[in-house]
């Protein structure tokens, strides 16, 4: 998996590859298309007094410096996913070009560090492919430059595809991605290609931090806001979390506490894995918290972003939680999307017929969890059909950003 997707996870052994300069950290600057750098508050006044040539040079160096900081934070996250052993590798050359080791290895004094065993292995590991092969499956540069990427990649992954179809597990988020763009789904779940870098690494870190504090606080049975805030301050002192904006995190934690105090207790469960088998297919999901009342279970999912959740995304996610939780815990009374940066959470009460009715907003339409069940099954069958017949790109008229870049070449 990619380093970005490992946040919040841990393993006994982690293998981290490509610790070479220019690969990790990358040296090719990836710009922020959302906000022009010269408009950022911390430098906009300084940029004003520079001429065009000086301004371009200043911005370029500023962006490179901050990209390196972000890459270093990502390296730290990658290193600390290992509980027992971390194996880091780099080659002396990539694509026929000589490279040096990553500056991040220098920063941990990898040759002199008593916690690190450095081994130089000059044995050739690469095995020439059978001359009868139609293409060199290991030569990704050849694949990418072939102009026939999908066909060659499909040939290369036929055996992988068969395994995936036989052991496929579906999540609402994966099915929503498939509905949005089949090719994006294929690249992520079939080819395991890395996703585009998140525009806001800081926002991701903030969300992970707040989720961690809420999980630990509820599990420990905290009944006072001061207990949550003290935990946040202590955690923020850890090197892993010191880059998180504590004031912003505390605001979200205070919102959470005002909305949820008195609702959770020692029986509440956090970070619950929710498997479900419907229509002969396996589905999976995770719920942030489940409370238990005399009327039934209540499922709460926290959101720390500002963006509004699309109705179908919301319905499929909450509907799945209700279906999976009632299979595991019995009657589900309520599902809640607690958007901590919004004015209020969205609370849906579920009646005996599976109708989820929003009880704190007249503008929000409801949904039926059994209709969601059928929609999930239908979409999952479309995915299985795509494995057999191929994943189709979005039409040019749809103007899909992903297909325009990776399929249509626009």
Does the pLDDT at position 135 exceed 70? no
What's the pLDDT at 195? 66
* Topology of domain 169-410, CATH: Lambda Exonuclease; Chain A (3.90.320)
Those residues with Cβ within 8 angstroms of residue 86's Cβ, 6 or more apart along the chain or in another chain: 13, 14, 16, 79
pLDDT confidence band for 255 (50 / 70 / 90): very high
Q: Which range is least confidently modeled, 2-16, 54-68, 258-272?
A: 54-68
Distance CA 274, CA 276 (A): 7
> Any idea where the domains of the chain sit in the sequence?
1-125, 169-410
Q: Which range is least confidently modeled, 40-49, 152-161, 313-322?
A: 152-161
Measured N-to-C along each axis, helices 369-389 and 311-329 cross at an angle, to the nearest 10 degrees, of 110
Does the pLDDT at position 149 exceed 70? no
Average pLDDT, the chain: 85
Distance CA 214, CA 202 (A): 18
Handedness of CA 112, 118, 121, 127 (dihedral sign): negative
Distance CA 356, CA 370 (A): 10
Instruction: Residue 359: count other Cβ atoms within 10 Å of its Cβ.
Output: 13
Does the pLDDT at position 131 exceed 50? no
What end-to-end distance do the CA atoms of the chain give, in Å? Answer: 28
Distance CA 233, CA 340 (A): 19
| pTM, 2 dp | 0.64
The model's pLDDT over 344-370, given as tens digits with 9 standing for 90+, comes to: 899 999 999 999 999 987 777 899 999
* Topology of domain 1-125, CATH: Double Stranded RNA Binding Domain (3.30.160)
The model's pLDDT over 88-120, given as tens digits with 9 standing for 90+, comes to: 999 988 877 888 999 999 999 988 899 999 888
What's the pLDDT at 225? 97
Backbone angles phi, psi at 143, to 5 degrees: -60, -50
Give percent helix, percent strand, percent coil of the chain, each to the nearest 5: 45, 15, 40
Q: How many residues does the chain have?
A: 410
Q: Report the candidate in 92, 70, 85 with the shortest Cα–Cα distance to residue 20.
A: 92
């Amino acid at each position: 998996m990619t380093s970005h997707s490992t946040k919040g996870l841990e393993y006994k052994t982690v293998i981290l590859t490509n610790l070479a300069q220019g690969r990790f950290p990358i040296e090719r600057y990836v710009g922020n298309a959302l906000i022009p750098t010269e408009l950022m508050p911390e430098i906009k006044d300084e940029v004003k007094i520079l001429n065009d040539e000086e301004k371009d040079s200043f911005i370029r160096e500023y962006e490179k410096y901050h990209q390196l900081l972000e890459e270093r934070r990502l390296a730290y996250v990658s290193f600390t996913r290992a509980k027992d052993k971390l194996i880091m590798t780099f080659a002396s050359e990539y694509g026929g070009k000589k490279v040096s080791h990553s500056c991040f290895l220098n920063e941990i004094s990898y040759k002199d560090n008593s916690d690190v065993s450095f081994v130089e292995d000059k044995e050739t590991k690469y095995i020439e492919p059978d001359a009868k092969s139609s293409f060199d499956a290991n030569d990704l540069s050849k694949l990418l430059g072939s102009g026939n990427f999908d066909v060659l990649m499909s040939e290369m992954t036929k055996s992988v595809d068969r395994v995936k179809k036989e052991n496929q597990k579906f999540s609402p988020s994966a099915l929503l991605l498939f509905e949005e763009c089949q090719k994006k789904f294929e690249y992520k779940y079939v080819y395991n290609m890395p996703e585009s870098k998140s525009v806001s690494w800081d926002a991701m870190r903030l969300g992970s931090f707040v989720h961690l504090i809420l999980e630990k606080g509820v599990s420990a049975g905290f009944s006072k806001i001061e207990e949550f805030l003290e935990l946040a301050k202590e955690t923020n002192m850890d090197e892993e979390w010191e880059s998180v904006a504590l004031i912003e995190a505390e605001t979200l934690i205070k919102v959470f506490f005002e909305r949820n105090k008195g609702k959770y207790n020692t029986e509440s469960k956090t970070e619950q894995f929710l498997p479900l088998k419907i229509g002969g297919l396996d589905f999976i999901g995770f719920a942030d918290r489940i409370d238990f009342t005399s009327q039934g279970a209540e499922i709460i999912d926290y959101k720390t972003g500002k963006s509004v959740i699309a109705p179908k995304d919301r319905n499929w996610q909450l509907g799945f939680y209700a279906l999976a939780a009632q299979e595991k815990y019995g009657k589900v009374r309520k599902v809640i999307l607690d958007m901590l940066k919004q004015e209020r959470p969205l609370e849906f009460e579920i009646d005996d017929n599976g109708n989820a009715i929003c009880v704190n907003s007249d503008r929000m339409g409801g949904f039926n969890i059994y209709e969601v069940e059928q929609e999930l099954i239908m979409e999952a069958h479309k995915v299985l059909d795509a494995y057999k017949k191929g994943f189709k790109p979005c039409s040019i008229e749809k103007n899909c950003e992903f297909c325009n870049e990776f399929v249509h070449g626009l």
